Structure 1
Amino acid sequence: MPNPAKSLALVIPLAVAMTWVIGREPDSGTLSPSTLNADEEILFYPTYGRFDEQAQVWRFDVHGKVFEPEDGSFKRALLIATLKSSMRGNVEIDKDAFLSDRIRPFLVDNERGKSVTIDVAGNQFAAGVSAANGHFRRSLVCDAAGLGVGPQDIGAPQSRVLTFTAVLPSRDSRSFNGRIHLIAPRGVSLISDIDDTIKHSQVTDRSELLQNTFTRAFRAVDGMPELYADLADVGVAFHYVSGSPWQLYPPLQAFFSDQGFPQGTYHLKYFRLTDSSGLGLLSSQRATKLAAIEPLLDSFPDRRFILLGDSGEHDPEIYGQLARDYPDQIAGIFIRNVTASDRMDGRFQTAFEQVPADRWRLFDDASQIRDVVIDLAK
């Protein structure tokens, strides 16, 4: 059974750091537009919605960031210095080698105190007020008729994703759009790590990690785009959970789209250059991943989950803990073997203690698990 005290301890720090409002009914009438200046932008992150069968309503989050684009030399130098320090060694990379789409999101000016209003299927909602890091987040509620989608409609691909737009002042002709993945109460979901699971990163080599993240084109792990596309074809919902910072969402999303990975929700890490955690910018955080995954499992008690990760950092330990805490929901665990490990190694015996042996496996190539994963999804 889930440990409520543990879950609460993990979630509270995140809730305090963010603007988080408990679910509510649609706001009546027309709300004031978002308080956005002409030189500021909104980036929405994809979230999920769940159908509350008892109340007959959809409950969903809206999450985004308000920022002013910036490319200042001081921030650029600070970021590069922070990245090199985080590698714990001398890494010689010319400042001009950093790809603009990777480094620019870290250089923006985060805008705090900005209220955001959105329009979802003709319903206007107050979506929150941006915090010091520019992020805003709010939990909202709307009945099925208001969204025009009932749980019976989720089987149709065109009904799974609900798009919405920011409500802006009448003089502002720009458009900032987001999406909510409406997920049925029952079915199969895939929770996937990103680095070294579906994208080559070499997390265990800090110098290579820096270069693969900021100076080289992203590369997909062979066979994973095809496997995920096959899973999407049989109706699996996707949640991408990573220790990578939210600033990398735009290039990651573009890479996923280019490679054919299915759309899904993203669950990344909060980071600011002013944070004392700067040296851990590219490190995976066990507590961060658990705080992202446990609410998913709690939100969909009747869905079954497949967990995919790698052996480079803490995925075996995280997934093993989840399998013990949620034994009826975790259908299978698949760990990409990037450390040349053996299944009988003490690490895995400890990580998967009390987890049935047929519930988890190591793999080197996607072809080794394709049939098993597809069968679980069906």
Structure 2
Amino acid sequence: MSRFIRKAATALETKLDTKPTPAAPSRHESDLEHRTRKARNFEETEAKLPNLRNSPAPDERPTITTNILSYLGSWNPRPHPITSNDTVWLFDNTAYRNPTTNNWEAEVIAAVFDKETGVKVSLVVADIAEKLGLGHGDEAEARIKDRLMPFMRSVLPGRVVNVDFGRRRTQLKLGPGGRNGISSDIRALPQHKDGDIVAGVANVPRGTNGILEMKTVYAEPDGWAIISDVDDTIKITQTGDPIGILRSTFAAEAAPVPGMSLLYDYIQTVVTKSAPWFYLSASPYNLYAFLHEFINEFYPQGTLILRDASWRNLAGLLTSLTQATQEYKVDRMDKIHSWLPRRTMICIGDSTQSDPEAYGEMYRKYPKWIGLILIRRVENIAEVGLEEKNDPSRFEKAFKDVPESVWHVYSDAEECYKYIDKAVSAKARKA
């Protein structure tokens, strides 16, 4: 084993690039995404962002051996326990019944990374502040530092996280985590009722910090469920502009889209409070803590699904939000469908990314699964990127073969109440 590790380490070291490189365009990047990125100079902005990859953590973790073995994922023969020097995030999730056994289970996700960072934080904060036109000492600098930290810490592959689940403290073993420090495990869960929310707590040494509690929502096979985009659907992000993304993500107070919080409260009341919510965002995992706090403040409890990403990569934030979003979202919705194929989905998104195309594709795949699609027409050019994203022809193409009664484009949240009422009433009549 040691000879293999030495050879693999040598090969790995020869491949390490000491220069920052712009993210390669995805072969699945849509034409609309490509033209938006070109028109708004995304690649130019990405190339100017600070390079964090070559700043090792002060404690030199993870080791080369750990990095090599992390390629084996859950088959890693040398997993590591959590230490007091680690930061652990547990992600909220949704429990569903296994279609074969009818027992409860859930995809349980954890991320582990180093508490410390070898990055010169003050320099990175100053760089971002300068790009946003903020002066030294601006009150937003503290906010920038706080939100940047998950991008600047080293991920720790190969970690095992133990979780005490529920009042009876059912033991869940998660991991070992893979290359990105993230573990994703399907775990059997104890019996509970539809709509129950059960807490799981990480069993870690004193001193370990992070998001050490997750909430699991139990969802029976039948009923309503909601899939909602995040950026520019419920949170103002300005995904059509690179500087707008940086400002709304790192410097500005998180702001909900006007009227959406009240609308979601209404939806929860109409479809019953036990209906599960899925917040499907193209943002990278680095932003989980930030977005999790935002959703908990303004919107119903739910499962936040984010994109895998290289944690020490600020440019990855921009590419994550602007490349291959349709492919990514369809893949994640396929997973949700595998959990809850008999639920009826209300899908809510906006015109800045590929929500119309993704929801249209899902309807054509599973026409009985999606009961309503609502698309917010984002009219601010800084947010939408290209005016043609709001062309009626775009929506007609995206929703080809989708009944007009199912999809609706709106500008104001007030318009959505009638669509919600009509969809819920129609389903009730069929029951």
Question: Secondary structure in 2 aligned to 1:358?
Answer: coil
2:360 and 2:97 map into 1 onto residues whose CA distance is 28
Whether 1:331 and 2:371 are equivalent positions in the alignment is yes
CA deviations on 1:147-201 (whole Å, 9 max, x unpaired) are 241xxx21xx5x2x121122335x7797922122211100111100011101111
1:109 counterpart residue number: 154
- Structure 1 residues without counterparts, runs of 5 or longer: 1-15, 22-32, 85-89
Aligned residue for 2:419, secondary structure, equals helix
Moved more, 43-52 or 119-128: 119-128
Q: Distance in 2 between matches of 1:34 and 1:249?
A: 23
Structure 1 residues 338-347 or 266-275, which shifts more?
338-347
CA 1:102/1:190 → structure 2, altered by over 3 Å: closer, same or farther?
same
TM-score (norm 1): 0.79
State the alpha-carbon separation in 2 of the partners of residues 51 and 76 from structure 1. Answer: 48
Aligned to 2:62: none
Give 2:330's match in structure 1, choosing from 267, 290, 302: 290
1:132 CA displacement: 2.7
* Structure (1 or 2) with the larger CA radius of gyration: 2
For the residues of structure 2 that align with 1:114 and 1:55, how far apart are their CA atoms?
30
The answer (yes or no) to whether the contact 1:244–1:283 under 8 Å persists in 2 is no
Question: Amino acid of the residue matched to residue 282 of structure 2?
Answer: G
Alignment CA distance shift 1:94-1:322 (3 Å) = farther
Paired residue type of 1:258: E
Question: Tell me, what secondary structure is at the counterpart of 2:363?
Answer: helix
- The match for 1:363 among 388, 410, 418 is 410
71-80 or 44-53, which deviates more: 71-80
How far off its partner does 1:241 sit? Answer: 0.5
CA RMSD of aligned residues (A): 3.2
SS at match of 1:196: coil
**1:306-345 matches, cutoff 5 A:** 306-339=346-379, 345=392
Aligned match of 2:85:
39
Paired with 1:315 and 1:342, the residues of 2 have a C-alpha distance of 11
Pick closer, same or farther for the CA change 1:314–1:77 going to 2, 3 Å.
Answer: farther
Match 2:249 to one of 209, 213, 217: 213
1:229 CA displacement: 1.4
Shift of 1:119: 2.0
Q: Which amino acid aligns with 2:111?
A: K
- CA shift at 1:373, angstroms? 1.4
8 Å contact from structure 2 (residues 73, 158) kept in 1: no
The sequence identity of aligned pairs, in percent, is: 26
Q: Does 1:70 align with 2:116?
A: yes
> 3-state DSSP class of the match of 2:395?
helix
Distance (whole Å) between structure 2 residues aligned to residue 18 and residue 286 of structure 1: 29
2:323 is the counterpart of 1:300: no
Residue 36 of structure 2 aligns with which residue? none
Which amino acid in the other structure matches residue 165 of structure 1?
V
Corresponding position: 1:139 with 2:179: no
1:266 aligns with 2:313: no
- Once residues 18 and 194 of structure 1 are traced to their aligned partners in structure 2, the CA distance between those partners, rounded to angstroms, is 33
- Structure 1 pair 345–162 and aligned structure 2 pair: CA distance change class (3 A): same
Q: CA deviation at 1:73?
A: 4.0
| 2:104 aligned with 1:58 | yes
Determine which structure has the larger strand proportion and give its number. Answer: 1
1:269-302 Cα offsets, whole Å, 9 max, x none, are 1222556973614425222211211111122111
Equivalence for 1:228: 264
- Once the 2 structures are TM-superposed, how far is the Cα of residue 310 of structure 1 from its aligned partner? 0.3
Shift of 1:332: 0.8
Partners of 1:195 and 1:225 lie apart in 2 by 14
- CA 1:61 to 1:67, structure 2 compared with 1: closer, same or farther past 3 Å? same
Q: Equivalent residue for 1:353?
A: 400
Asked whether the equivalents of residues 240 and 352 of structure 2 are also in contact (C-alpha less than 8 Å), the reply is yes
CA gap 1:20/1:370 in 2 versus in 1, 3 angstroms:
farther
Structure 2 CA distance for aligned equivalents of residues 185 and 222 of structure 1 = 32
Report the CA distance between 1:262 and its aligned residue.
0.5
Distance 1:119 1:212, change over 3 A: same
Partner Cα separation in structure 2 for residue 315 and residue 91 of structure 1 = 28
State yes or no: 1:249 paired with 2:285. Answer: no
> Amino acid of the residue matched to residue 153 of structure 2?
V
Indicate if the aligned counterparts of 1:79 and 1:106 stay in contact, CA closer than 8 A: no
Deviation at 1:74, TM superposition (A): 3.5
Q: Label 1:295 to 1:342 Cα distance change in 2 as closer, same or farther (>3 A).
A: closer
When structure 1 is superposed on structure 2, of 292-301 and 93-102 the one drifting more is 93-102
Partner Cα distance (1:269, 1:238) in 2: 17
1: CA distance, partners of 2:135 / 2:217 = 40
Count residues with an aligned counterpart: 335
Q: Secondary structure at the match of 2:233?
A: coil
| Contact 2:81 2:159 (8 Å CA) reproduced | yes
Q: Is the 8 A contact 1:50 1:59 kept in 2?
A: yes
Q: Give ranges in structure 2 of 5+ residues lacking alignment.
A: 1-69, 380-386, 426-431
